[in-house]
Structure 1
Amino acid sequence: MGEVPKVTDLAQVIEPHLPEGSTLESYASRYLTKPGDNYGSIMLAVQAKIRSADGATRELPLIAKLPPLTNDLYWQIFQPERTCITENAVYQYLSPELDKLQLQAGVLPALLFDGFPRYYGSRISLDSRSSKVDRDAVLVQENVTVHGYQPGNRHRAYNLAETILVLHYLAQYHALPIALRLKKPQLYEEYVRPFFKKFDMNTNIDQAERDQMNNELLKDIKAATSDESDVSRIKELMAMYDAFQAGKDVDDGLFTTLVHGDLWINNMMLKYDEQGTPIKVKIVDFQIAQYGSLVHDIIFLLFSSVDVNVLEENYYNFLRIYYDAFIQTLSVVNVDTSNYTYEIFLEEVQKVAHFQLPHAIFMMKVILADNSTIPDDYKDVDFSVLSKNTGIKTIVTKFEAILRLAKKFNIFY
């Protein structure tokens, strides 16, 4: 794995977020994720030793997230100049404002939305005057695994109980920023909107690379269907998705909010009780969060991360469950929901859903990638992972299912 990158002056980042008088005495760090599980950043598990004002010391398990320092290709694609600033804003501005909004509406502290990990500071550069992200950027948050949260396993899709839990959290994550925009428009304009502009990951990917990826994808689509018109529709959808990503910032609408943009199984941590019942969720990795229709997250989540049989039996259920939780969240913070009818929500689904099919299809190549094709070292992960996984039975089978269900639920065209 090579040497673990150092975090210069970690104390300066986390001490303002510790109890008064506490200081960082020392820390040790190691790589957190395996290659293939995280592309846009380097994740370190940090064991910090904190000395409190009365002299007692305690261990504080943290996670430090650094931009992709060692991989120039990823620096280019993930554009930390934008993605770090967006992700920091979720913890720096959005999360505390959503807490305040709920408290001011009378929500009990123990019942606040708890879908974000606790924040322990961030910076974009060692130069405090700099507005440009550089290689000393870092975001520090609690290591939620010590509280029993587990990362998803990309080879095991969500079951019914897990999906219901995640949809409840997703509905809150989408509804609260809408409430903030409606109830505190000035604050929203200043602290939220500027950080969630449209983001196009394709901008810096070489056209030849893109063509190669698309051709590999289409090979698998051809293996999954004998119908030529399916293949040409997927091609069309891929072009539409690219155009959408490269498009302008979205106007305010009933259902426009802070879309996570990458809500698949690896970007959610679930906590289970002793019986194995899923009880809580932390959503992570907001690098490509952007303003848009909440339908993008719902469809991408369902098609990328939920077990095929569960999705087939419950698609309409899931939409209803999400909608009810969404309305409930708005009501709790006193937003008038009379415009938000279920029919209008379903129209929004029909209008937007198909854009996310190519996204889910592309992601399956990553999610179902054979572990043996993923290099051991971060520096060596590149797009060849995708082509090495062309023709794998699990991927072709999943593509068949995506096409079949998209048609069945009337979101293919």
Structure 2
Amino acid sequence: MLPVKNLDALLMQTYGLDFQIHNVEWKHLTDPGENFGSQILAITVNAEQNSKKRTLNIVVKLPPRSQYLLDLFDSPATFKKELEFYSTVAPEFLKLQNESGIPEEAISVITPQFLGGRLGLRDPQCFDEQAAIILENLKDENYTTQDRILGLDKVHMDFAIIHLAKLHAITIGLKLKKSDFFENAILPVLQYAVNEDAQNGVTGMIQKAHNDYKSMKEAEPYLDMIEKTLEYASRVTVTPKEPWTTLVHNDFWVNNMMFKYDESNKLINMKIVDFQLTVYNYGVHDLIFFLISSARKDVLDKHLDDMIDLYYDSFIECLESLNVNTNIFPKNEFIEQLHQCAPIKFQQCIMMVQVIQAARGSVTETTNTADKDVFKGGINDENYKQKMLHILSVFERKGWLVK
């Protein structure tokens, strides 16, 4: 039985009141261990509209069913955020680019198309287990994900960095050009206070990562710096300064982006997904986490500084295309933010290795049954161990560990 109730009413938000569903076929879009924050269904809808038959291939996001994951992801708050992002924020990104005179073929459509949604079935404004977000099925448009365990090569990293810089720059362009609208309509979507259950879940994952380091002989020379960096991150808050503050995705890694290729396998487009944790902060928070979490080891070792430069150059180029004065975004301030924020991002970088490097097939729990032991990365897994050690070497090389 289809887990989504009243699907026709949701699709009528886009397709109109004469949209009638005749039948549906559905399956789970992701395997266990590939997504924890929601149930994701791929649905083929055979319908009729204006007396014409049509077929839709859609993705429906529903909340996780397990209480642990509902608490960890603070689903009532984060589902509302993502719903508001797709319905309110994403359309403004396209509108701003249009109004700035960017040719249609050059406009960045960073997100999948939003087709409808609700916070709850009983009350569309009150969260329940039937909260739903409907998007186009990117797989049907030949978008694919990359291998989270292996990570991204230089071509994919560069491509994603350029799109991340555009996401940050377009948000800032919107803020500077339509300040009242931004303050009233966009900024509330980016406000997020982590609740106690979610914070406890994150703290537990950080503690596990810290304990794993203590169990690795190779990490012994770093243990004092690890301790100091984690303590620093829990104590210090970097208050972002305008005009740099922007939409921070807050979970920008391999599984939250999809790539598209042409007939010769050349990379031609990408989309960013999962906007449930967005906050208003420095864009370098996303950049640091993406570089550390998602680049292959050799790419990170050889090209880290090049990728940081690419982000800044792409950010400035996008702002210029929106006719924004870029003199107020000097590179020295950007580099200063990077070094300020990196020790704080260390926590997220090490805790997420448990998720990103979890061996394929090791997670069998669904989002119905998952509990606090669902994240399977550990020191007995060589991929996990090597990634944890590599993060240390990169942070030390860049001077991002607190001594």
Instruction: State the TM bucket, normalised to the shorter chain.
Output: over 0.9
Aligned counterpart for 1:333 among listed residues 313, 322, 327: 322
Cα distance in 2 for partners of 1:281, 1:94 equals: 18
Q: In the alignment, what sits opposite 2:115?
A: 120
Aligned length: 402
**Cα shift at 1:115:** 1.4
Indicate conservation of the 8 Å contact 2:59/2:137, yes or no: yes
Indicate conservation of the 8 Å contact 1:370/1:389, yes or no: no
**Cα shift at 1:387:** 6.0
Asked if residue 217 in structure 1 is aligned to residue 213 in structure 2, the reply is: no
**Cα shift at 1:350:** 1.0
**Cα shift at 1:75:** 1.1
Indicate conservation of the 8 Å contact 1:84/1:124, yes or no: yes
Write out aligned runs for 1:200-215 (5 A): 200=194, 203-205=196-198, 213-215=205-207
Q: In the alignment, what sits opposite 1:7?
A: 4
Report the secondary structure of 1:371's partner residue: coil
Asked if residue 87 in structure 1 is aligned to residue 82 in structure 2, the reply is: yes
**Is there any run of 5+ residues in structure 2 with no aligned partner, and where?**
none
Report the secondary structure of 1:192's partner residue: helix
Report the secondary structure of 1:173's partner residue: helix
Q: In the alignment, what sits opposite 1:17?
A: 14
Q: In the alignment, what sits opposite 2:155?
A: 161
Write out aligned runs for 1:11-410 (5 A): 11-18=8-15, 21-53=18-50, 55-68=51-64, 70-128=65-123, 131-200=125-194, 203-205=196-198, 213-224=205-216, 226=218, 228=220, 230-242=222-234, 252-386=241-375, 389-410=378-399
AA of the residue aligned to 1:222: K
**Cα shift at 1:132:** 2.5
TM-score norm. by structure 1 comes to 0.90
Report the secondary structure of 2:22's partner residue: strand
Cα distance in 1 for partners of 2:203, 2:112 equals: 37
AA of the residue aligned to 2:35: N
Cα distance in 2 for partners of 1:87, 1:81 equals: 10
**Cα shift at 1:210:** 6.2
Indicate conservation of the 8 Å contact 2:72/2:198, yes or no: yes
Indicate conservation of the 8 Å contact 1:65/1:140, yes or no: yes
**Cα shift at 1:388:** 6.5
**Cα shift at 1:366:** 1.1
Using a 3 Å threshold, how does the CA distance of structure 1 residues 7 and 338 change in structure 2: closer, same or farther?
Answer: same
AA of the residue aligned to 2:98: L
| Structure 1 vs Structure 2 CA RMSD | 2.3
**Cα shift at 1:224:** 4.5
Using a 3 Å threshold, how does the CA distance of structure 1 residues 374 and 102 change in structure 2: closer, same or farther?
Answer: same
**Is there any run of 5+ residues in structure 1 with no aligned partner, and where?**
none
1:344-385: CA deviations, max 9, x gaps? 211111111221122111111111112343125333333324
Using a 3 Å threshold, how does the CA distance of structure 1 residues 123 and 282 change in structure 2: closer, same or farther?
Answer: same
Indicate conservation of the 8 Å contact 1:374/1:385, yes or no: yes
Cα distance in 2 for partners of 1:115, 1:267 equals: 12
**Cα shift at 1:271:** 1.1
Cα distance in 2 for partners of 1:241, 1:24 equals: 51
1:136-184: CA deviations, max 9, x gaps? 2100000001111002221221000000100110011111111111110
